[in-house]
């Protein structure tokens, strides 16, 4: 096989562009080799961006490949995650993976998965759900400019198809508002999407106008003209005011005549013989090494650790909304310098604004853009901050895909949703989260908390800060009596048996507002001669199986679960799943919201949904054989 260029030279910032071009060809070749070997993947989507990445890696990126967690490093996020062959080919060129590792692409057990995930240390976040890399990059860039205050740059490789995702425009709006000159979106406008031409093909004027109107400096270039690429990347690094979008006109499958700019080659590996011809056309297999510029050494402005937190406490019997306790506790947590808070323009309702009072420099307004809210939290998690993001619980459904991907990224983010369930009252069903517990429970490795009073909420918010993974807390709109004394402790996976006797005939299991209703029901049942155990299942996931098991045993399997949520996937499901394999599984009555609620008072709506005290009493009596 003939090779036109040098095969094992080192490519540095001072190498001439011809050699950088050779690197670009190597990236193409290696992407083809890896995907052809795997029998799947997106080589042509990688080839369109290979020149962009070659110039970036050789001349502009500042990165210590031997120390990927260095705070000084630039960040490079492949928002078009399907260009993973290119991403991995770059890692080979950087010398951090071997050619043999590259050839294991997409095989079982290989960290070189079909789309990038952070099982590889040089990857910040999982991508592959389009339109997420750029919003997350905004979070990293916010951390760089406002928290770390380090000169690292955040580079994001975007595809053109993904510019149809609204999340991209949410991201750019925030990027320009926060003047993220440390952010560059490198857009690979290769004209071809998965199933044919993209909507705007090579209409660079449309793209330019849109990016400019969203506050970016837009630089339109030919993405295969190395000098133009080099100049644009230099301008991006030098920019002082705005985020930069490099709009690169490229050709899908660039460099290989059998596929270049042709339809029908998205997400397809080249057949072996064709791959061989392609590699020959590209000048053969090379082993160039790219010696990326080292980062500027620096020290993050924020030192993690330290800061004495005194959690708020509330007097027994005082009426406190858990959302208020959330806000108060955030404010207290602000003593820890790594805690940051993000809001979606509802901080007066979620009470996240409490944090802002003392720590406005670590409070980030994401406006009404819930996808960006979660994405920014993920980006800050990349830099080791402890982000709390809050909005109405119902509106986290807007960001479910971002939460799903955050789990794959193994990000550490804390989410709090207020105004859950019919309890909110007059605002009506659009504002009522009735599926948030199902959604958040279904996320791999998530922690789902749902406190019922001020003291438990405060303790659990404090605990969230030190809990890894996706941690969700549901808070309640209304103020209810504090039932736990200050200092009581709570844990993920815990629960509280609030009322119990040795001879309980039924157990009432609730959380949040329904715990209060269950307590009232137990008092009524007691009068009627029915002994009821009341369990506060504040940790919905993980769930306290031991306590549930004991309740099952004592009551002879009579459990009433009451939740301000649809019957699928919430508290009731958690109880059923926990006890599914018992030798004697319980009978579980699920009181939940089954119809379509309207407006009304909380009391009216709880009654109409059949989850109020009277409904609990009736269900318990039936189960206890008293009716």
Residue 370 annotated among the catalytic residues of the structure: yes
Only one residue has tokens 């999982």, namely 126
| 235 Cβ contact partners less than 8 Å away, ≥ 6 residues apart | 217, 219, 244
Using CB under 8 A, pick the residue from 62, 307, 367, 479 that binds a copy of itself: 367
Per CB under 8 A, does 423 bind a copy of itself? no
**Which one, 311 or 473, has the nearer CB to a copy of itself?**
473
Per CB under 8 A, does 555 bind a copy of itself? no
Task: Looking at residues 306 to 365 of the shown chain, list those that interact with a copy of itself (rule: CB under 8 A).
Answer: 345-349, 353, 365
Residue 390 vs residues 343, 355, 371, 477, 565: alpha-carbon distances, Å? 6, 12, 12, 14, 19
Per CB under 8 A, does 7 bind a copy of itself? no
Strands ordered across the beta sheet of 244-249: 75-78, 154-159, 183-189, 244-249, 217-222
Q: How far is the CB of 484 from a copy of itself (least distance, A)?
A: 27
Per CB under 8 A, does 33 bind a copy of itself? no
Q: How far is the CB of 55 from a copy of itself (least distance, A)?
A: 27
**Which one, 281 or 410, has the nearer CB to a copy of itself?**
410
- What is the spatial distance between Cα 520 and Cα 217, in angstroms, rounded to a whole number? 61
Q: How far is the CB of 405 from a copy of itself (least distance, A)?
A: 6
| 442 Cβ contact partners less than 8 Å away, ≥ 6 residues apart | 569
- How does DSSP assign 56-82, residue by residue? IIIII-B--TT-TT-TT--EEEESSGG
Q: How far is the CB of 307 from a copy of itself (least distance, A)?
A: 27
Q: How far is the CB of 371 from a copy of itself (least distance, A)?
A: 6
- What is the spatial distance between Cα 57 and Cα 468, in angstroms, rounded to a whole number? 32
Which pairing describes strands 196-197 and 558-562: parallel, antiparallel, or unpaired? unpaired
Per CB under 8 A, does 552 bind a copy of itself? no
Per CB under 8 A, does 382 bind a copy of itself? no
Per CB under 8 A, does 161 bind a copy of itself? yes
**Which one, 465 or 575, has the nearer CB to a copy of itself?**
575
Q: Closest by alpha carbon to 334, among 314, 360, 366?
A: 360
- What is the spatial distance between Cα 315 and Cα 569, in angstroms, rounded to a whole number? 34
* Residues 431-450 as x/- pattern, contact with a copy of itself by CB under 8 A: x--xx--xx-xxxxx-----
Residue 452: phi, psi to the nearest 5?
A: -110, -15
Q: How far is the CB of 84 from a copy of itself (least distance, A)?
A: 9
Per CB under 8 A, does 190 bind a copy of itself? no
- What is the spatial distance between Cα 210 and Cα 192, in angstroms, rounded to a whole number? 19
Q: Exposed (0-12), middle (13-18) or buried (19+): which is 64, by Cβ within 10 Å?
A: middle
Using CB under 8 A, pick the residue from 66, 99, 149, 166 that binds a copy of itself: 166
Contact 248, 221 (CB under 8 A): yes
Per CB under 8 A, does 426 bind a copy of itself? yes
Per CB under 8 A, does 469 bind a copy of itself? no
Q: How far is the CB of 128 from a copy of itself (least distance, A)?
A: 3
Using CB under 8 A, pick the residue from 5, 298, 429, 481 that binds a copy of itself: 429
Only one residue has tokens 């009555």, namely 589
Task: Looking at residues 34 to 63 of the shown chain, list those that interact with a copy of itself (rule: CB under 8 A).
Answer: 38-41
Q: How far is the CB of 482 from a copy of itself (least distance, A)?
A: 25
Per CB under 8 A, does 110 bind a copy of itself? yes
Task: Looking at residues 484 to 543 of the shown chain, list those that interact with a copy of itself (rule: CB under 8 A).
Answer: 541
- The distance of Cα 27 from the centroid of its chain, to the nearest Å, equals 30
Q: Closest by alpha carbon to 407, among 355, 448, 356?
A: 448
Q: Other CB atoms closer than 10 Å to residue 358's CB: what's the count? A: 14
Q: Closest by alpha carbon to 562, among 484, 624, 506?
A: 506
Q: Other CB atoms closer than 10 Å to residue 179's CB: what's the count? A: 15
Q: How far is the CB of 390 from a copy of itself (least distance, A)?
A: 12
Using CB under 8 A, pick the residue from 129, 254, 381, 514 that binds a copy of itself: 129
| 62 Cβ contact partners less than 8 Å away, ≥ 6 residues apart | 72, 73, 74, 152, 153, 292, 293, 294, 295, 296
Map residue 591 onto helix, strand or coil. Answer: strand
- What is the spatial distance between Cα 504 and Cα 500, in angstroms, rounded to a whole number? 7
Per CB under 8 A, does 587 bind a copy of itself? yes
Per CB under 8 A, does 195 bind a copy of itself? yes
Catalytic pick among 170, 370, 423, 435: 370
Using CB under 8 A, pick the residue from 5, 95, 111, 307 that binds a copy of itself: 111
- What is the spatial distance between Cα 189 and Cα 544, in angstroms, rounded to a whole number? 51
Find the helix or strand (DSSP H, E) in which 107 lies: none
Using CB under 8 A, pick the residue from 46, 371, 475, 500 that binds a copy of itself: 371
Per CB under 8 A, does 96 bind a copy of itself? no
Q: How far is the CB of 439 from a copy of itself (least distance, A)?
A: 6
Per CB under 8 A, does 91 bind a copy of itself? no
Q: How far is the CB of 619 from a copy of itself (least distance, A)?
A: 10
Per CB under 8 A, does 168 bind a copy of itself? yes
# residues contacting a copy of itself (CB under 8 A): 116
| Tokens linked to 419 | 């105004």
* Residues 212-251 as x/- pattern, contact with a copy of itself by CB under 8 A: xxx-------------------------------------
First-last CA distance in the chain: 87
Using CB under 8 A, pick the residue from 18, 66, 67, 177 that binds a copy of itself: 177
Using CB under 8 A, pick the residue from 32, 89, 320, 588 that binds a copy of itself: 588
Task: Looking at residues 391 to 410 of the shown chain, list those that interact with a copy of itself (rule: CB under 8 A).
Answer: 394-395, 397-398, 400-401, 404-405, 407-408, 410
The interface region with a copy of itself, picked from 6-14, 227-235, 282-290, 367-375 by CB under 8 A, is 367-375
- What is the spatial distance between Cα 325 and Cα 335, in angstroms, rounded to a whole number? 16
Per CB under 8 A, does 1 bind a copy of itself? no
Only one residue has tokens 């809210």, namely 373
Give catalytic residue positions. Answer: 370
């Amino acid at each position: 096989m003939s090779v036109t260029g040098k095969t094992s030279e080192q490519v540095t910032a001072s190498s001439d562009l011809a050699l950088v071009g050779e690197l670009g060809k190597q990236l193409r070749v290696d992407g083809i080799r890896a995907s052809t070997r795997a029998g799947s993947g997106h080589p042509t989507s990688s080839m369109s961006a290979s020149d962009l990445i070659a110039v970036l890696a050789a001349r502009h990126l500042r990165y210590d490949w031997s120390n990927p967690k260095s705070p000084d490093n630039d960040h490079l996020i492949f928002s078009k995650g399907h260009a993973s062959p290119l991403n991995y080919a770059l890692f080979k060129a950087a010398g951090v993976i071997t050619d043999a590792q590259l050839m294991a692409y997409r095989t079982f057990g290989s960290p070189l998965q079909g789309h990038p995930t952070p099982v590889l240390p040089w990857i910040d976040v999982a991508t592959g759900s389009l339109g997420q890399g750029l919003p997350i990059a905004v979070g990293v860039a916010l951390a760089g400019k406002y928290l770390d205050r380090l000169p690292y740059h955040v580079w994001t490789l975007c595809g053109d198809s993904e510019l149809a995702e609204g999340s991209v425009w949410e991201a750019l709006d925030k990027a320009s508002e926060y003047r993220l000159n440390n952010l560059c979106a490198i857009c690979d406008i290769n004209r071809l999407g998965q199933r044919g031409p993209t909507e705007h093909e090579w209409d660079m004027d449309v793209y330019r106008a849109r990016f400019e109107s969203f506050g970016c400096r837009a630089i339109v270039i030919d993405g295969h003209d190395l000098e133009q690429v080099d100049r644009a990347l230099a301008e991006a690094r030098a920019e002082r005011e705005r985020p930069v979008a490099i709009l690169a006109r490229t050709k899908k499958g660039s460099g290989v005549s059998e596929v270049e700019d042709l339809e029908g080659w998205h997400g397809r590996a080249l057949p072996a013989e064709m791959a061989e011809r392609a590699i020959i056309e590209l000048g053969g297999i090379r082993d160039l090494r790219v010696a990326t510029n080292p980062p500027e050494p620096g020290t993050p402005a924020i030192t993690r650790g330290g800061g004495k937190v005194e959690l708020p406490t509330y007097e027994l019997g005082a009426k406190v909304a858990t959302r208020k306790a959330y806000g108060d506790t955030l404010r207290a947590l602000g003593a820890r310098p790594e805690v940051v808070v993000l809001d979606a323009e509802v901080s007066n309702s979620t009470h996240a604004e409490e944090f802002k009072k003392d720590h406005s420099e670590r409070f980030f307004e994401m406006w009404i853009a819930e996808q960006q809210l979660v994405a920014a939290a993920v980006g800050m998690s990349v830099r080791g901050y402890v982000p709390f993001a809050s909005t109405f619980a119902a509106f986290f459904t807007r960001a479910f895909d971002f939460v799903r991907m955050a789990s794959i990224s193994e990000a550490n983010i804390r989410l709090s949703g207020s105004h859950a369930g019919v309890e909110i009252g007059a605002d009506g069903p659009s504002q009522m989260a009735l599926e948030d517990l199902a959604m958040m429970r279904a996320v791999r490795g998530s922690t789902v908390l749902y406190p019922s009073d001020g003291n438990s909420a405060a303790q659990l918010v404090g605990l969230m800060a030190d809990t890894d993974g996706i941690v969700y807390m549901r808070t309640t709109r209304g103020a209810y009596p504090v039932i736990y004394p200050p200092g009581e402790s709570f844990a993920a996976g815990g629960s509280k048996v609030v009322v119990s006797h040795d001879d309980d005939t039924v157990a009432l299991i609730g959380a949040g507002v329904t715990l209060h209703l269950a307590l009232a029901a137990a008092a009524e049942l007691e009068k009627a001669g029915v002994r009821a155990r009341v369990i506060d299942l504040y940790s919905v996931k993980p769930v306290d199986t031991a306590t549930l098991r004991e309740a099952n045993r004592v009551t002879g399997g009579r459990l009433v679960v009451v939740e301000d949520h649809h019957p699928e996937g919430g508290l009731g499901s958690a109880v059923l799943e926990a006890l599914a394999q018992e030798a004697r599984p319980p009978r579980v009555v699920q009181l939940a919201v089954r119809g379509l609620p309207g407006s009304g008072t909380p009391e009216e709506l709880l009654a109409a949904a059949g989850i109020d005290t009277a409904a609990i009493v009736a269900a318990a009596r039936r189960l206890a054989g008293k009716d």
